[in-house]
Structure 1
């Protein structure tokens, strides 16, 4: 098995014709591509380790992320595997990486400008602590966001400092090791650069700095050219200090004729440093949770939000039955849920959110639910749903069971914001006839559930309690990792319409759902064969009707071509067509930002009205991006008269495209993509589920750090409108109910920002690693326009334990191992080691990383833990890792590989030696 360093050395050998540290696209190696390369390599290594431990062979059929996921999850299980969540995880990280140049453009520590080495390392270390704490609490979205930011800062060190000019060939491990000091830093009074009176001055670092191995970085000024005497500048048109003597700059962000070798070296070491940081996080998290953090897990999450009031006994029993059926029927397949989430709610209580990867634990937890209290009055449904939306991974399928209206209807706008932010789909199973009419705009109604379901791409299914078991087949349908939406529409009433949709060769288990009453329809296939609503078992499929739901499962998977359905109804109805396929897409609405390193920022809210709207979109196929071609991307109105707006497409490479729409439809719209699958030469159609609209209101806020329990966090934010000015209502909520203060209204002038500060205080007993989801909404006094921003804040306890566990190998018995490896299987060898954590928090786990033998150890409560490893002489390398209670990682490595016929000497190595020690013995 190749070591991680071996992979890194392959990166060192890669040619770099156009390398740059820009966020996107002006060269072959950018922050974006460096990060993606490191992520793919660490995931490949992790998958290889996991698969080979099971005795299977890790053999991707190709180099694409899609084929990597299939190889990582699919050697023994059956069914299709979608790589959408993996690709989304990569995008979460790379987008946050690029945003550092937007959100923290003038912050020297975020870029190691102006010799801010201690401050820059502080940001990296703080981020690593937050990442490890969040992994323990399974807050993986928070992990990805923080990881992207600190990778940017780490990568900038090698571009903005003189590390490579000093002749360094390896990453500076001290940047991610709080127990190791930063050494030999140039002080503010030490000149570091000579003057460069031209634009081509290779290595302007002063000879004394190079000889003494002093570490410096370039100063950067956007508004001023002032810098300390004799100091290097960053360089470039945006750096005013580069015009002050000494002129020029030492940045290796762009490849120029005078810095080719230095720039290539910086890219290579930045990639290796990124791998080094990722390896530390992987070791602290464990392979399983690291892959989950990267979106590599079987199937979607099974998430239930269940009303537990007294009238819900039958509903709870049906939910329990569905969970048990899914667990029992899908065990060992690719459709086995990777995670189970349960949120009960009552009145006035709701929660807690229960999360587990153990199916038997989920059975136990749902079996504990008992119906009690309450009555037929409204319940805390939306509060429970809020917990689910903030606790479940993005793009989850969430199912809500209730027989009452929402008491907490004031949360409706917050739920809309969270649905749009997470792109999760919410379906409601409602077992009551709601006859109550609204007494005011604040009173809840059944339509609220319909609105939320439609906004998310879900359905509001209304049945009697006796019929509920017939309606829950939809949950079985959607419990798959490869679920795609082909079409979704909603119509108000009183019309007859023929709606076409395209099925492709890759689709399986195609299902048509219609919700509504007084409906007639006729379904017609490409050959002209038809079936209407009265034919339960017809030529095209099986029709099931229960309550307001029609479910049509097509008889065969081979139904390529354009279908159509003719629907007539005098009431509101929805139409949805889904199937299973690995051909899909992911997307974000983005806006371009300018500056020294321009890029694209994901819009956290609704895109701005009155200007072009841009999508960043990735197409996912069966054999990677090269197996797909995109024909058209459009925005389509779900409700009302059909209107499709097509966008202009720019290919960004590797399956990523930018789509720009000069105009957008009025009202709520979704994204529709059409293209060709080259594997089958079949045209396909896919649609997003989450509805979106534009707004003239804009809210900006950035979370720049974690917060300690008991400490007040100050969050500045700004609100601006391009619409009418006046008083705008500000409403902020967080999913932990932590105390907050803020001004609840602002007076806005058109085109001008109004600034405000929100404070939030996590209680002193808050668990370290708690992830807080915060929404801030701004609404005009008329209610005609509004927007929101969704932010995440990590609560992390301050720690003082920065020291890694130590390892002392005190005995190796390998004398029996033969020189002739053909006979190795008949013999074994042993290793014994002592593990300690000194004055630290204590070792929490010990696990085997390399080696096919068995590892055992004494009690983790002991001050000295004895570890023993036994293996066949055929397995000659062992590495095991120890993680303490705050995530510090120590490693024990030993090899009995013979060199020149002599056995390798037994080594007693400190456990803090990084994985590089496997190749550079004695060079920690």
Structure 2
């Protein structure tokens, strides 16, 4: 199948026939729409099951991501709920799905081309193992990326093989069941296709293949026209084998008159197969973690990086107090954090990273922190921050507490790369320790923290230890749901200036942060009302001054329209305006790629200098994209008085926009957006938080599989420059401190890619499901220009246990159930079953999936587990699942409504041999 970047309706750009597996061409069915349809259906099913289990109604008010998330979160979602995290998760999956066509364009197994069925199934199985292991370790981003690639390969089977032509109306379940064989394959010497001179024959499959139900797929030749004698071709202009007899092709990527029925069937089966794979993952991981993988969570993640050296006693106490206040004040509300992260650091140690969804555990962990050691040395602050950036979800808010400069300042470029890659915001709370001497460590200073805060759109707050409790109100402001940035400006020198920005009626809890020393300001609303910096309580709001921070919280009844902020100072300063709103946007810088199935790929690093920048952007509103209209998107330099750069926009529909900026700013820029709220007809504006800049360097890399513990893994990559050639500096770091080897210099020629290889070796005892974030940086010898790429690797232990847990129903007693259902509530029925995992890894979890009764079981450590189910005769169906320790799923199903069994039935009776088909045992 062809690729598409994570924009679900990119295929609507150009006119043309209906297309299912091609990215650009005019159809409404694409890889992304197939994937999106399956994901939304499975998420909806899961949300409904979670809601029913919790005893509340699941009734979305509409089909948009925002409305689905609102309904899924249930009664706690009483405030503003943003669908941004869910939409971002979908886009990550779509993006990786599309990249299979760029990164593995000539790989037959990735597309089930050239009869590579065993190898293709192997990729699917390896991916499913990695996904389940990643979710188990809460590495959801790695799981999403692998899921996108696996779904592409699975979907390609139905378009590229003859499964549809053979008349099968159900997906080939064996592709996701390693315990079932892939059989009846046409061997390399068996002819499979007749000649089709026109290339548009309705069915080229030989009758002998049809009669014997032999499985085959088309051969694809991108660089060669050769193929085994008598074999089918993939077909199409990019397939050089399509002109070799037998000519033509059997792919069903496009819907044309000669293959319309086959094409439609392939789309249907690809969608159903995707649902089966998603259901297997859902059952293996559980509803809660499946939804977390999909980015459906109440609110933001709260992440703390805390210096624990001796002088930090007061700071640790304040961080502890803030965590307790967040937990106690936001519990049960939409603003309750969905996850807590804590990373302590000292000297020379840092970590471990502690992640939990349990607020009580977070209280316990932060209460364990003690200030000790450290002396007057700088600390490992950036190492701790690196752990938080790689462990927290994208677009997280991370808060750093320290009173010392960074000893590990060499990590600064890596931290900036991770900030830009994750779009996370980092705020520093910096207090001065009187007893510490600041030593020169590669010219490190508190200014480095300010640079990182500015790059991320966060705050760099310098206060005394006594003032710290007042400054931490910023954490309470930002650890909330649906947080958006309306406006931001950075000035490196003092100035007298008036800023204008738009506040719309959807915004709540609007806060203006002005960070800098000796600054005077006046805020004016659209009606001309004013409030000055020396009025703590005025007509527009309240002003809190602490250290170098002024926090201006506007009144809840703010006037929508254009506001003005006049500033006067001789010192550097920043201005940031934030609020809560469901109107927001997500974006990625992208580059197009060519090939048989062209598309767009997300840039991991900085956009290239000397050419237009392209963005894929999605806008979200309270009732979905139809509730907002975008009028302008551009790039803005927050440190400059220049306006927003001009751009051209192509509306893809459904809130998705392709944006091209011909003249990219030279300095650091953000994405600025204005539009109209269709519900109120008022104008709004939003900005991205993360600063980006251009580079003449470009890095590309491909990760094609998971990494085995204890074994070296090669990561090939390529570097190109549009600037001067010659020797360039290369560095690489990973967040697990795994051993790596790579060239420290690389010679580049202008306009040509130079290949290199990095080798990483995880320890043999690495836990399966661990993810590794790898950052590769390239710099010019002078250090003037640089670029980076961020890769995520999954460490997965090879497994040999593919046997699903087995279920044997040994006894059913339903004799008391009356035929008159109006009386069913007064009677009970029971079922007993034995569950085993054979010679596998052992059953880890047993859970009820259908039925309103009570399920209990004996110890999971026993080789034979006894399960017992008791329910009202009104609830006549039971289904429970058993999951083993590597994610294999078995099901046990029984219905007393369909059963003619006697009160006590065991599998020793012939009747139960017949009923086995309907009772179990690992139904797909």
> What is the aligned partner in structure 2 of residue 326 from structure 1?
326
Matched-pair contact (CA < 8 Å) for 1:438–1:444: no
- Report how far residue 63 of structure 1 moved: 1.2
Q: What TM-score results when the alignment is normalised by the length of structure 1?
A: 0.95
> What is the aligned partner in structure 2 of residue 816 from structure 1?
816
- Report how far residue 129 of structure 1 moved: 0.8
Aligned 1:652-691 pairs, distance under 5 A: 652-691=652-691
3-state secondary structure, aligned to 2:819 = coil
Alignment RMSD, CA only? 2.2
State the alpha-carbon separation in 2 of the partners of residues 907 and 773 from structure 1. 52
- Report how far residue 907 of structure 1 moved: 9.5
Larger mean Cα displacement after TM superposition, 286-295 or 675-684: 675-684
State the alpha-carbon separation in 2 of the partners of residues 144 and 692 from structure 1. 25
State the alpha-carbon separation in 1 of the partners of residues 35 and 895 from structure 2. 31
For 1:152-188, what per-residue CA distance to the aligned partner results, in whole angstroms no more than 9, with x for missing partners? 0000000000000010111111101111110100000
State the alpha-carbon separation in 2 of the partners of residues 706 and 860 from structure 1. 30
> What is the aligned partner in structure 1 of residue 746 from structure 2?
746
- Report how far residue 873 of structure 1 moved: 2.2
Matched-pair contact (CA < 8 Å) for 2:386–2:415: yes
State the alpha-carbon separation in 2 of the partners of residues 626 and 918 from structure 1. 45
Aligned 1:388-427 pairs, distance under 5 A: 388-427=388-427
- Report how far residue 616 of structure 1 moved: 0.5
3-state secondary structure, aligned to 1:201 = coil
Matched-pair contact (CA < 8 Å) for 2:199–2:249: no
> What is the aligned partner in structure 1 of residue 8 from structure 2?
none
Change (3 A) 1:300 1:646: same
Matched-pair contact (CA < 8 Å) for 2:893–2:920: no
3-state secondary structure, aligned to 1:562 = strand
3-state secondary structure, aligned to 2:798 = coil
3-state secondary structure, aligned to 1:578 = strand
State the alpha-carbon separation in 1 of the partners of residues 898 and 557 from structure 2. 57
For 1:809-864, what per-residue CA distance to the aligned partner results, in whole angstroms no more than 9, with x for missing partners? 12222233333333332222222111100000000011111222211100001111
State the alpha-carbon separation in 1 of the partners of residues 303 and 638 from structure 2. 26
> What is the aligned partner in structure 2 of residue 5 from structure 1?
none
- Report how far residue 376 of structure 1 moved: 3.1
State the alpha-carbon separation in 1 of the partners of residues 907 and 191 from structure 2. 43
Matched-pair contact (CA < 8 Å) for 1:824–1:872: yes
- Report how far residue 114 of structure 1 moved: 0.3
State the alpha-carbon separation in 2 of the partners of residues 697 and 177 from structure 1. 44
> What is the aligned partner in structure 2 of residue 9 from structure 1?
none
- Report how far residue 127 of structure 1 moved: 0.5
Matched-pair contact (CA < 8 Å) for 2:627–2:679: yes
State the alpha-carbon separation in 1 of the partners of residues 830 and 81 from structure 2. 40
> What is the aligned partner in structure 2 of residue 444 from structure 1?
444
Matched-pair contact (CA < 8 Å) for 1:434–1:446: no
3-state secondary structure, aligned to 1:413 = helix
> What is the aligned partner in structure 1 of residue 86 from structure 2?
86
State the alpha-carbon separation in 2 of the partners of residues 38 and 884 from structure 1. 25
3-state secondary structure, aligned to 1:824 = helix
- Report how far residue 522 of structure 1 moved: 0.2
Larger mean Cα displacement after TM superposition, 349-358 or 653-662: 653-662
Matched-pair contact (CA < 8 Å) for 1:301–1:341: yes
> What is the aligned partner in structure 2 of residue 256 from structure 1?
256
Aligned 1:412-561 pairs, distance under 5 A: 412-432=412-432, 442-561=442-561
Matched-pair contact (CA < 8 Å) for 1:463–1:546: yes
- Report how far residue 612 of structure 1 moved: 1.0
> What is the aligned partner in structure 2 of residue 880 from structure 1?
880
State the alpha-carbon separation in 1 of the partners of residues 905 and 62 from structure 2. 40
- Report how far residue 445 of structure 1 moved: 1.1
Matched-pair contact (CA < 8 Å) for 1:380–1:408: yes
State the alpha-carbon separation in 2 of the partners of residues 617 and 214 from structure 1. 45
Aligned 1:320-359 pairs, distance under 5 A: 320-359=320-359
Matched-pair contact (CA < 8 Å) for 2:892–2:919: no
For 1:390-435, what per-residue CA distance to the aligned partner results, in whole angstroms no more than 9, with x for missing partners? 0000000000000000000000000000000000000000001799
> What is the aligned partner in structure 2 of residue 893 from structure 1?
893
State the alpha-carbon separation in 2 of the partners of residues 517 and 434 from structure 1. 21
Change (3 A) 1:433 1:352: closer
State the alpha-carbon separation in 2 of the partners of residues 640 and 922 from structure 1. 62
State the alpha-carbon separation in 2 of the partners of residues 373 and 441 from structure 1. 19
Change (3 A) 1:112 1:588: same
Aligned 1:36-55 pairs, distance under 5 A: 36-55=36-55
Q: What TM-score results when the alignment is normalised by the length of structure 2?
A: 0.95
- Matched residue pairs, number? 903
3-state secondary structure, aligned to 2:114 = helix
- Report how far residue 436 of structure 1 moved: 11
- Report how far residue 653 of structure 1 moved: 2.0
Matched-pair contact (CA < 8 Å) for 2:297–2:338: yes
Matched-pair contact (CA < 8 Å) for 1:84–1:585: yes
Aligned 1:116-155 pairs, distance under 5 A: 116-155=116-155
State the alpha-carbon separation in 2 of the partners of residues 454 and 478 from structure 1. 16
- Report how far residue 682 of structure 1 moved: 2.2
1:114 is aligned to 2:114: yes
Aligned 1:145-224 pairs, distance under 5 A: 145-224=145-224
Matched-pair contact (CA < 8 Å) for 1:507–1:557: no
Larger mean Cα displacement after TM superposition, 754-763 or 874-883: 874-883
3-state secondary structure, aligned to 2:645 = strand
Matched-pair contact (CA < 8 Å) for 1:510–1:557: no
> What is the aligned partner in structure 2 of residue 586 from structure 1?
586
State the alpha-carbon separation in 2 of the partners of residues 745 and 705 from structure 1. 26
> What is the aligned partner in structure 2 of residue 371 from structure 1?
371
Aligned 1:281-300 pairs, distance under 5 A: 281-300=281-300
> What is the aligned partner in structure 2 of residue 12 from structure 1?
none
> What is the aligned partner in structure 2 of residue 71 from structure 1?
71
For 1:576-610, what per-residue CA distance to the aligned partner results, in whole angstroms no more than 9, with x for missing partners? 00101111011100111111111110001001111
Matched-pair contact (CA < 8 Å) for 1:53–1:852: no
- Report how far residue 654 of structure 1 moved: 1.8
Change (3 A) 1:466 1:245: same
State the alpha-carbon separation in 1 of the partners of residues 329 and 193 from structure 2. 69
- Report how far residue 17 of structure 1 moved: 8.3
State the alpha-carbon separation in 1 of the partners of residues 780 and 753 from structure 2. 15
Matched-pair contact (CA < 8 Å) for 1:487–1:501: yes
3-state secondary structure, aligned to 1:644 = coil
3-state secondary structure, aligned to 1:466 = coil
- Report how far residue 906 of structure 1 moved: 7.4
- Report how far residue 665 of structure 1 moved: 1.2
Matched-pair contact (CA < 8 Å) for 1:97–1:151: yes
For 1:673-695, what per-residue CA distance to the aligned partner results, in whole angstroms no more than 9, with x for missing partners? 11111122221111100010111
> What is the aligned partner in structure 1 of residue 828 from structure 2?
828
For 1:288-322, what per-residue CA distance to the aligned partner results, in whole angstroms no more than 9, with x for missing partners? 00000000011000100000000000000000000
> What is the aligned partner in structure 2 of residue 867 from structure 1?
867
State the alpha-carbon separation in 2 of the partners of residues 819 and 18 from structure 1. 52
Change (3 A) 1:923 1:484: closer
3-state secondary structure, aligned to 1:645 = coil
